[in-house]
Structure 1
Amino acid sequence: MDQALNEEQQRRLGELGVKKAPRARRAPAKTAAASRPRAGGEAFQKGLQALQQYIAREGALPGRAGVQEMPDGDIHRVGVWLANQKQRRDKLDAAQLRALADLGVQWAR
């Protein structure tokens, strides 16, 4: 039972069979390295592949609504992926930025 309850409230809840819940343990905090994309990270590589295919099909970079169907049938929201990469560009490494710049992404230069 909560210590914020007065003694009478705690007694009444006890009579009803309400017991104090065990204290929840906190999850360890994420480290910067754990949340940082890796150069060979699978998600980045899939996004890059989808971006390459989109550019080959459309001849231009996608807008936010750009979608690419992958050969395995997966639908990749490549426009959202690219916007997310831009938002997190300070966490991308040099190889990732170079790969995006090679595809014509101006902010990756």
Structure 2
Amino acid sequence: MDRVVPSPVATTSADTPPSDSLLAASRPTTGGGAFQKGVEALAQYVAREGRLPGRGVVEVLPDGVEHRTGIWLGNMKARRDRLDAARLRALAELGVEWAR
């Protein structure tokens, strides 16, 4: 009986797993940090444009991170019944009517 021997294959960068630091940087932040990033992006957009963003708005924060501000705001509206008073107040101060 013949044995199948795997042939050696050159390893490419696609075969190597990404580093832990790269994975951590690409993951969305959770908890209060994610909300703070959203408020920061929303405040920056409102200060510049004078209105709330549409769903497709992507805001670039001062640290260079892109934030999908329009989608984030829609998600906050969908979850408004689970937001605490401080978070609702922060959104209301930026002109979000449904947060009042």
TM-score, normalised by the number of residues in structure 1: 0.62
Stretches of structure 2 lacking an aligned partner (at least 5 in a row)? 1-29
Matching residue of 1:4: none
Give the equivalent residue in structure 2 for 1:55.
Answer: 46
1:45 matched to 2:27: no
Partner of 1:8: none
Larger Rg: 1
Runs of 4+ residues deviating >2 angstroms: none
Partner of 1:93: 84
Q: CA deviation at 1:58?
A: 1.1
* CA deviations over 1:59-80 (Å, ceiling 9, x no partner): 1100101111011111101000
Give the alignment's TM-score, normalised by structure 2: 0.68
- Measured in 2, the distance between the counterparts of 1:45 and 1:75 equals 14
Task: Note the 1:1-109 alignment, pairs <5 A.
Answer: 41-109=32-100
**Superposition CA RMSD, Å:** 1.3
